Amino acid sequence: RGTSTFDGAAIAHAVLKRISEHIGCRTLFATHYHQLAEDETLLNTGLYHQACLVNPTTREVTFLYKFTEGRCPQSHAMHVAKIAGLPEVIVEEARQMSAVFHSAVKSSAGPSDDEALGNFYDSVKHVAAH
């Protein structure tokens, strides 16, 4: 099954905490767990993303190779899959499945992944404080 979302987030948090509190060196820590950078208990951390331009008509993405402060406003996974050489038929099926997943999450009564991870990080901060 691999690493669960919460296990992955917990490991990432522990590693980043160790780097920030005990090692103190400048580090590029690439992750999809954006809540890590919002955790004020982690010293001197920030959240950045790679800036890009998106053509509103073709949805083509042009990466600017510049770090920009803040969370990436949208996913570019389908474009990256396409430029990585995945066949268009696979990218299109993935695009359709992604739309179904997003629709299901929006219509479900449970929290989104971001909300669930946010709740998890609140629990981690509470445990770390005691």
In this prediction, residues 80-88 reach a mean pLDDT of: 94
Residue 38: phi and psi, rounded to 5, are: -90, 0
With 0.85 as the threshold, say if the pTM is over it.
no
Which tops the pLDDT comparison, 44 or 53? 53
pLDDT at 9: 86
Does the pLDDT of residue 4 top 90, yes or no? Answer: no
pLDDT of residue 15: 92
Evaluate whether 52 touches 61 at the Cβ level (below 8 Å). yes
Mean pLDDT, residues 105-124 taken together: 68
pLDDT score of 111: 66
Burial of 72-93, coded b for 16+ CB within 10 Å and e otherwise, reads eeeebebbebbeeeeeeeebee
Q: For residue 20, what are its two tokens?
A: 């920030």
For residue 18, what are its two tokens? Answer: 């160790």
